[in-house]
Structure 1
């Protein structure tokens, strides 16, 4: 067993390389192909043949299992009562039903809505403002945020884990003797989150040409409307461009230190004020409420925002400028209904209920 003093020194020495190195690591490792004897999803979105993994963190069954255990473990929180899954509910596409969650260690509302965790293997900058570059660095923010998991002392967290025989056993199974470290904790969480792939909705089965799978005429009309009006932001089979846009929610934005600047808080450029990450439309019918602050409770309200509720600002995306000068999208009532019908076809019940993604059975 590693002594607490030695573990504290090791963790302290690892923290800075993790913050600098993990954030800069680019994908480039061997891809994972569904159907092989490896952990991972049973299906990928149409047009994707492999699940990208970084060179420094290839997926392994033991690594994914450790990440899954950590994701659902309250041991990561300062109170021992809150886990990643407390806010990221699988049945809600690993999102939250509150506009601003209060499920962290302090019970205080968070500044932004809990984003869904869907198809993250293909995402670059993460969070609503792109503040983290990859999955290996992602979990540092919720781990250390005072209102989320509240871990102000990461070395102390690792000492507590080192005192748990199950944790030591799982880390060593995934990373070998002495494998219990902060960097490996982050790698394991990243491995698990990379396997959160949604690609088995009715739409996906229709795209694959599976027997008996079809979209209704209204759903096909909705798909065509999404491709016509929404594709610049929600294009590709991921149904997001993984970019940042100002979609007319506000006309004024906060100061340099406030999250209301959106992407501008990260780039410190006023041209990015009010721009937020485009969320995927996959499982969107199960991930309400909507927008970066959860201000819109329903998809109907979202479409009404695009029809009549957008406000102009200096950084409003030009995509939303109509010919009459007012921002918004020109959608008739029937077109709105068709889009809503199609969005339902993007619901992946197998993803929302897959027991391989839920809490593991106690050993």
Structure 2
């Protein structure tokens, strides 16, 4: 099996990061950043090993938009995670990485990841945001950066020297790059949609009659997996996209969660994506196969494929999928449009980039 040596080095650093003590990583003494948790959201999971601070978030934001994180110095995290698209890129399989080759999975949105406590990536291959950042950094088709070179380039920038000192009380280290990126991503909270204003009984929460109908349908037919108000259960499901799974590639990316757990019960299972801002994050699914919400609903109504690991929710009443009329599909789409957060996707903080 052909192996990418740089990727192995990155994974070793990831393991070191995950096994470091708090003393080794240095936990800043400044007050922890107080996240304003929306009242309709669940409690925020504690981040004991990497608490958010204002300095850490500011550093992470700067790094997220810095093209020096790529080996070519031409690609930043934001090249593929575009703020105005809820941090997606609008492509089926992005070709914006360093090689120009299509990636093997659709780029997910970035929002409300502070609550993502059951793995990241479509198959949960990373346990947290700190370790997740190593993957695109070292992948030969994404950013493909050398760790020593990255530290060298950042150390030549006096602004970064000061920012790392403020955030972590020490010098520039690649582990701290990952910690800062994680803090920034955890700060990205989308909670100002029409839906949010409605459930909080605030101005701007008015629903059309069609959206109300869609809301009722959603609660009945969709909310088991897309649980309000995060609109995900952070779990993994086989939603019937394929009937067979014969992935003999090196990475086994099309076997779903099985790639991580090696449990046959996880074949074909992928992480439930949030539906927040879903109207602007097309295309959909782990491989970007559907170009519109209508296509997604058509699939659930008439296209679900049976297999041994198909979620039981999609195999009830002697039929596959979800029973939806054309009128119900339109109502669901009207409701899903209420999940768009204009404040989030037009955040002025990112205008300078």
TM-score when scaled to structure 2?
0.89
Q: Distance in 2 between matches of 1:88 and 1:16?
A: 22
For 1:233, what is the secondary structure of its paired residue? coil
| CA-to-aligned-CA distance 1:113-151 (integer Å, 9 cap, x gap) | 000011100102000000001111110111111111112
Contact 1:100–1:110 (CA under 8 A) maintained in structure 2: yes
The change in CA–CA distance for 1:355 and 1:52 in structure 2 (over 3 A counts) is farther
Does 2:91 align with 1:103? no
In the TM superposition, residue 37 of structure 1 has moved relative to its aligned partner by 9.8
Match of 2:212 in 1: 220
In the TM superposition, residue 21 of structure 1 has moved relative to its aligned partner by 2.3
Does 2:38 align with 1:44? yes
| CA-to-aligned-CA distance 1:279-314 (integer Å, 9 cap, x gap) | 011000010000000000000000000011111111
In the TM superposition, residue 19 of structure 1 has moved relative to its aligned partner by 4.2
Match of 1:282 in 2: 276
Q: Distance in 2 between matches of 1:259 and 1:273?
A: 11
In the TM superposition, residue 174 of structure 1 has moved relative to its aligned partner by 1.4
The change in CA–CA distance for 1:97 and 1:212 in structure 2 (over 3 A counts) is closer
Match of 2:123 in 1: 129
The change in CA–CA distance for 1:126 and 1:140 in structure 2 (over 3 A counts) is same
Contact 1:75–1:83 (CA under 8 A) maintained in structure 2: yes
The change in CA–CA distance for 1:22 and 1:121 in structure 2 (over 3 A counts) is farther
The change in CA–CA distance for 1:319 and 1:243 in structure 2 (over 3 A counts) is same
Match of 1:329 in 2: 322
Q: Distance in 1 between matches of 2:269 and 2:143?
A: 27
Q: Distance in 1 between matches of 2:188 and 2:281?
A: 15
| Structural mapping, 1:231-310, within 5 Å | 231-253=223-245, 254-255=247-248, 257-310=251-304
**RMSD across aligned positions (CA):** 2.4
The change in CA–CA distance for 1:90 and 1:202 in structure 2 (over 3 A counts) is same
Q: Distance in 2 between matches of 1:257 and 1:63?
A: 33
In the TM superposition, residue 22 of structure 1 has moved relative to its aligned partner by 7.0
Match of 1:4 in 2: none
Does 2:139 align with 1:155? no
Does 2:52 align with 1:54? no
In the TM superposition, residue 45 of structure 1 has moved relative to its aligned partner by 5.6
The change in CA–CA distance for 1:360 and 1:70 in structure 2 (over 3 A counts) is farther
Contact 2:239–2:311 (CA under 8 A) maintained in structure 1: yes
Q: Distance in 2 between matches of 1:72 and 1:45?
A: 30
TM-score when scaled to structure 1?
0.86
Match of 1:33 in 2: none
Match of 1:207 in 2: 199
In the TM superposition, residue 360 of structure 1 has moved relative to its aligned partner by 5.3
Give 4+ residue runs of structure 1 displaced > 3 Å after superposition.
Answer: 16-20, 36-40, 50-53
Does 2:201 align with 1:183? no
Q: Distance in 2 between matches of 1:259 and 1:90?
A: 26
Q: Distance in 1 between matches of 2:208 and 2:238?
A: 33
Contact 2:257–2:269 (CA under 8 A) maintained in structure 1: yes
Q: Distance in 1 between matches of 2:352 and 2:62?
A: 6
The change in CA–CA distance for 1:53 and 1:190 in structure 2 (over 3 A counts) is farther
Match of 1:174 in 2: 167
In the TM superposition, residue 171 of structure 1 has moved relative to its aligned partner by 1.2
Contact 1:45–1:237 (CA under 8 A) maintained in structure 2: no
Match of 1:66 in 2: 59
For 1:85, what is the secondary structure of its paired residue? helix
For 2:217, what is the secondary structure of its paired residue? helix
| CA-to-aligned-CA distance 1:68-99 (integer Å, 9 cap, x gap) | 00000001000000000000011111112110
Q: Distance in 2 between matches of 1:20 and 1:55?
A: 12
Q: Distance in 2 between matches of 1:132 and 1:17?
A: 11
Does 2:186 align with 1:194? yes
For 1:231, what is the secondary structure of its paired residue? coil
Contact 1:246–1:316 (CA under 8 A) maintained in structure 2: yes
Q: Distance in 2 between matches of 1:162 and 1:123?
A: 32
Q: Distance in 2 between matches of 1:204 and 1:340?
A: 17
Match of 1:15 in 2: 13
| CA-to-aligned-CA distance 1:229-286 (integer Å, 9 cap, x gap) | 1111101310110100111111111138410001011111221111000001100001
Correspondent of 1:140 among 129, 134, 138 = 134
In the TM superposition, residue 52 of structure 1 has moved relative to its aligned partner by 3.5
- Unmatched 5+ residue regions in structure 1? 1-10, 24-28, 30-35
For 1:232, what is the secondary structure of its paired residue? coil
